[in-house]
Structure 1
């Protein structure tokens, strides 16, 4: 196969094609694997190679674990190019997403795709596309984990696309120009044309801004904190969090508040996901539960909406979440709080709850059945029908 032409056809760019060609030249099997790709990337002359050098990944260092892993072949895909192993096919599927996130398609995005986010991986999966490849396993054997790899790639790109502007200028230009902005459009704004060179240049500077974020000073953190309470600038900050998968302790609370204060029940997910990627599920879930119980009315509703994207980390948290939402409906008087609580109670698996909580739900539904608000009455009736035979 002409790997350079394949990369071009897939819209992956010249640097990806060159590394696939090099991987084929270095390959020791009839199928191209992620191990072959790692061999190519440590010899890359651009962003991926610079990141590998920073991490101490040399051809001599990666070869022993790859040799050790070679005794078990990478699984093959049944569809698509037969020359690709399953794990490498998954890398190819995700490399463009990594490039879009970085703001520039380069060999760095190929290196990041080699060590994917397995946060939602299914244990024991037999799908070859979900199986870790030799390249991923070798990096882990060498102690190179995802956050270190991301930081090294960001620093490498930052050297070729530097940025020294103040935070206000960075944020304003990003929000004004970036094609990759998560929250377009704002009233009166339109997404810029895809060929706008100024937007492309701004996007390419994102890694430099993210690298600055990773080394934020107290003064930087103060600006970032304030920005998370601004309706526009918060989208710039959450992009940096998502790009780095890192949340400084000083920004965790403002990031959670941004999720709570976002009125769009779909867009609040950006802030929840960013916080979870940065510090893990349990701390984020705990803070959202706190706001659900102790915040002002708007914070209580916002926290319950945000909890939709932050599943309880364990069985005890499931029950605590259910208990908190029952309390919210029974004790609060704000209509939005009670509506939100009832809509979230509908999403809980009550078959797995204990009898005490199911009894409380029955009491809530009885009160809701005669509530003057039509939404509450309708929602309660739907829950009652769904749980027929479960509630006593």
Structure 2
């Protein structure tokens, strides 16, 4: 299938010392820049319909993020109606969230309200033209864009958002994403970008148009020879499945 994987197993590898190492399918960022995510949380916290989530006085982004995610989830369960301006706030929070599991709480309401095509198009735009942090974050967020829509979840303020072409199609833009991600993995040497792209990158030529088939072999070779243990181990998981 061309859809994104939902596997959550954590493969192990042995480093030069022979000690077992665990590698999560979706790694955390190597950097520790929380200021951008903090600003994204501020935008989400102002979405109409959410219970107020005051910014902590001590600047603890982790605790605040949990509170904002919880408020968003609870509002969705109550039938949150999202305005047009809320789309970018949710998407940017999903991209900037350093947690590769909890970012789904920003992705899912956006999918339910605005549909697959719009959410995926926004992530694809960041992959192609964003900063390296946005590219890595877009890849992590893309992981969750295959989840089914929830009929009782958040909805859009303007009726008909899910009636647009591709809004409810779980295969929409997958091939476009795969090609863009393959090109980015091969050409972008940023470690976070490569770590976040690889888990969802198909390493078979059938997922791509003929003109980029040669890049599949290039991507595999890059990962196998990379000094980063995560990439070296992850590529072997993917070529064997």
> Fold match, TM over 0.5?
yes
* Aligned-residue offset at 1:382: 2.7
Question: Equivalent of 1:320, from 169, 176, 181?
Answer: 176
**Alignment check: 8 A CA contact 1:300 1:337 kept:** yes
Aligned to 2:226: 371
Match runs of 1:290-301 below 5 Å = 290-301=125-136
Query: In structure 2, do the counterparts of structure 1 residues 340 and 299 end up closer, same or farther at CA, with 3 Å as the change threshold?
Result: same
Offset at 1:344?
A: 1.6
Aligned to 1:43: none
Q: Which deviations, in whole Å up to 9, do the C-alpha atoms of 1:286-315 show, x marking residues without a partner?
A: 001111122211111111111111139465
1:240 aligned partner: 75
Q: Partner residue of 1:255? A: 90
Pairwise CA distance, 1:277:
0.8
When Rg is computed on C-alpha atoms for both structures, the one with the higher figure is 1
Structure 2 residue 171 is matched with structure 1 residue 330: no
Query: Quick check: which one's helix share is greater?
Result: 1
Deviation larger for 281-290 or 314-323: 314-323
What is the deviation of 1:361? Answer: 1.1
> Alpha carbons of 1:243 and 1:299: their partners in 2 closer, same or farther (altered >3 Å)?
farther
Give the 3-state SS of the residue equivalent to 2:124 in structure 1.
helix
Shift of 1:316: 6.3
**How do residues 66-77 of structure 1 correspond to structure 2 at under 5 angstroms?**
none
CA shift for structure 1 position 371 = 1.5
TM-superposition CA deviations, 1:50-100 (whole Å, max 9, x none): xxxxxxxxxxxxxxxxxxxxxxxxxxxxxxxxxxxxxxxxxxxxxxxxxxx
1:123-134 to 2 correspondences below 5 Å: none
Greater share of strand: 2
Please tell me whether the aligned partners of residues 241 and 247 of structure 1 are also in contact (alpha carbons under 8 angstroms): no
How many Å separate the matches in 2 of 1:355 and 1:328? 17
> So what's the TM-score if we normalise by structure 2?
0.59
TM-score, with length taken from structure 1? 0.38
After superposition, the C-alpha distances for 1:99-134 in whole angstroms (9 at most, x for unaligned) are xxxxxxxxxxxxxxxxxxxxxxxxxxxxxxxxxxxx
Following superposition, which runs of at least 4 residues in structure 1 exceed 6 angstroms of deviation?
Answer: none
What does residue range 278-357 of structure 1 map to in structure 2 within 5 Å? 278-311=113-146, 313=169, 317-346=173-202, 351-357=206-212
How far is the alpha carbon of 1:248 from its aligned partner?
A: 0.4
Root mean square deviation, CA, Å: 3.1
Change (3 A) 1:255 1:378: same
> What number of residue pairs does the alignment pair up?
166
Shift in CA distance, 279/169, structure 1 to aligned 2, threshold 3 Å: closer
Name the CA distance, whole Å, in 2 between partners of 1:168 and 1:287: 23
| Structure 2 residue ranges without an equivalent (≥5) | 1-48, 57-61, 147-165
Return the offset for 1:238.
5.0
How far 1:381 sits from its partner (Å)? 2.5
Greater RCO (CA < 8 Å, at least 6 residues apart): 2
